[in-house]
Amino acid sequence: MVKTTSDFQKMKSSREPIVMVTSYDAPGASLCEEAEVDTILVGDSLGMVVLGYESTVPVTIDDMVHHTKAVKRGARNTFIVTDMPFMTYHASLQETMAGARRLMQESGADALKLEGSGEVFVHTKALVDAGVPVVSHLGLTPQTVGVDGGYKVKGKSAAEQEQLLKDAKQAEKAGAFMLVLECVPEEAAKKVQASISIPVIGIGAGRYTDGQVLVYHDITGYYAGHTAKFVKQYTNISEPVQRALKEFKQEVKAGIFPAEEHVFQPLDKHVKLYGDK
Ligand SMILES: Nc1nc(=O)c2c([nH]1)NC[C@@H]1CN(c3ccc(C(=O)N[C@@H](CCC(=O)O)C(=O)O)cc3)CN21
Ligand SMILES: CC(C)C(=O)C(=O)O
Ligand SMILES: [Mg+2]
């Protein structure tokens, strides 16, 4: 059955690690559900791993609705978190609410994830007040890659760690039920984990968080782009896929495929077809 926000809270209390994997389509989501992951993230990494963009910045609410619907069809019994994309929760509370309403009502998301701190927490609180479960995302926030000047580890200095801790506490206070912490030193993540009561899911945040999240295409090796240090590639499906495609091509060129078993025949095998002798 679909988990609830309180199930994740209980998992933190009982120290059962929470497993989150991204999905962007029905077959991928279905495999995640069969693997019994605790929750699926329809990440805006979608833009980079399946839509071919350079960053997550071009991803829209329409993209997230479209892909979350597909994920929901593939994984009806898994808790789905969907990323609110770039600049859709900053301009006004009205715009935040309109986007969130679409993601929650049209797409089948169970919760929404918002990157960043400060003003973002005003939007977090408004969403939670309206009944939307919210996940906060701190540390490296890919949507601010432009102002950050690249994808860089956050919380390396004492001052940055102090700020991170403050932000995490504010996220909890704003009503977030979960926190994703990306690319921070292990020691900083450990402090955050111990300082707030909501579960902390790490990606490049070391061994002491309440759970881990990785991108589906990074786990399976189905992505040609840059692979971060925190990724463990458990298999490389690109290789067998490439081999199969080359073999298909060779067999068609050589007249090997299709063979007799792939061919349809008429009801009466003795019917003479045009061109038959
Ligand atoms: N395939 C994929 N996996 C991801 O985890 C992911 C995406 N795409 N796209 C959206 C964001 C972007 N993410 C990224 C992208 C790059 C780095 C990266 O290059 N990090 C450097 C750290 C550099 C430093 O030391 O400051 C690294 O070497 O890992 C990290 C996270 C995480 N997300
Ligand atoms: C990397 C994870 C946390 C994410 O936000 C995404 O996949 O978009
Ligand atoms: Mg994201």
- Residue 21 maps to which CATH number? 3.20.20.60
* In-domain check, residue 250: no
Helix/strand/coil for 89: coil
- The mean pLDDT of the chain is 96
Tally of domains within the chain: 1
* In-domain check, residue 262: no
Give the pairing type, strands 200-203 and 134-139: unpaired
| 43 Cα: distance to centroid of ligand 3 (angstroms) | 4
* In-domain check, residue 207: yes
**ipTM, two decimals:** 0.97
pLDDT digits (tens, 9 = 90+) for 167-209: 999 999 999 999 999 999 999 999 999 999 999 999 999 999 9
Q: Is 180 left (phi over 0), alpha (psi -120 to 50) or beta?
A: beta
Ligand 1 near 48 CB (within 6 A): yes
Determine the atom of ligand 2 nearest the C-alpha atom of 41.
7
* In-domain check, residue 50: yes
**Which of 151, 220, 227 to mutate for ligand 1's pocket (most ligand atoms within 8 Å of CB)?**
151
Q: Which domain holds residue 184?
A: 5-236
pLDDT of residue 272: 60
- pLDDT band of 271, cuts 50, 70, 90: low
- pLDDT band of 62, cuts 50, 70, 90: very high
- Arithmetic mean of pLDDT, 252-273: 87
118 neighbors 151 (Cβ within 8 angstroms): no
* In-domain check, residue 9: yes
* In-domain check, residue 265: no
| Of 69-78, 168-177, 267-276, the least confident | 267-276
Residue 130 to residue 122: CA distance in whole angstroms: 12
115 neighbors 123 (Cβ within 8 angstroms): no
Ligand 1 near 229 CB (within 6 A): yes
pLDDT of residue 268: 76
pLDDT of residue 153: 97
* In-domain check, residue 176: yes
Q: Which two tokens stand for residue 108?
A: 């089948």
Catalytic residues: 182
Which residue's structure tokens are 């579960």? 199
* In-domain check, residue 271: no
- pLDDT band of 225, cuts 50, 70, 90: confident
Per the annotation, where are the binding residues for Mg(2+)? Answer: 44, 83, 115
Residue 226 to residue 115: CA distance in whole angstroms: 21
| 54 Cα: distance to centroid of ligand 3 (angstroms) | 14
pLDDT of residue 270: 63
Helix/strand/coil for 59: coil
pLDDT of residue 224: 83
pTM (predicted TM-score): 0.96
pLDDT at 275 over 60: no
pLDDT at 108 over 60: yes
